[in-house]
Amino acid sequence: MTESKALIVGISGVSSSGKTTLARLLRDIFPNSFVLHEDDFYKPDAEIPVNEAAGGVADWDCLEAINLPQFEKALSHIREHGMPPPDLVSKEDKNSVGQVDVDRIVVDDLEWKAGRWMFEDVPPIAIIDGFLMYAEGMKEVRSLFDVKLLLRTDYQTAKARREARSGYVTLEGFWEDPPGYVDKVVWPNYVKDHAFLFKDGDVEGEPKQDLLEQLNIQAMPPATQGSMTEVLKWAFDVLEAALSPRDR
């Protein structure tokens, strides 16, 4: 693989774990950075798979709902050119992430610290957020990331956050989760595609650290769970470390 003209950072994890919030915060902190959303690569509404086991509802939380060739093509374009595809228009930016509970003093401090990268010879930072980017069915996509951050949250928190959302702008309209969608679709899909990363397949338990290291995935420390401020500080340190070797 040729050297990338951007530092490509993946932020993945279960729905409502704070991926988009973290991505936007990092974009605002680091100079010369931009965000790409996996959700911008959903297939047209009529092509979203139907989950028969969940009562015949559209399954927006499975790999088959994503146009993987287009997603991979966009990431390859970023690696080659250091910028997103010029024809990409984000619909995900129309979706609110709700109230962001983060210490603004910490954000300002990190932004000041990151300012030094404006004067260093480092590539642009492409921050990619998505819900299933490290699954085994995404090996080709997974290999395109230079940094892989895995956000975690427990079932109850993910369920409460997802059910508090009003809905989502789609390629052709608007989607609202029907009752029971988290229990029937969202959480089971997350478990199915991420159990391999955790001991005994328990996605709320301890990760397989040796496998994470093998795949170059960095899971958020348990102590940061529940605090976007702490998650942000951790992610900032990871990105700083990734940029530093390029500067030496």
Half-sphere exposure of residue 133, counting CA atoms within 13 Å on the CB side?
A: 34
Please list the active-site residues.
39
Q: Is the separation of the CB atoms in 18 and 85 below 8 Å?
A: no
Residue 141 near residue 41, CB atoms below 8 Å: no
| CA-to-CA dists, residue 181 to 38, 65, 175, angstroms | 20, 16, 12
Q: How many CB atoms lie within 10 A of CB 78?
A: 23
List 177's β-bridge partners, or say none. none
Residue that the structure tokens 């990151």 belong to: 114
Nearest of 91, 79, 201 to residue 141 by alpha carbon? 79
* Ordered DSSP codes for 176-208: -PPTTHIIIIIHHHHHHHHGGGBGGG-TTS-B-
Total residues belonging to the chain: 248
* Residue 104 region by backbone torsions, left for phi larger than 0, else alpha for psi between -120 and 50, else beta: alpha
**How does strand 174-175 pair with strand 168-169?**
antiparallel
**CA–CA distance, 122 with 108 (Å, rounded to integer):** 22
CB 77 within 8 A of CB 84: yes
Helix (H) or strand (E) holding 177: none
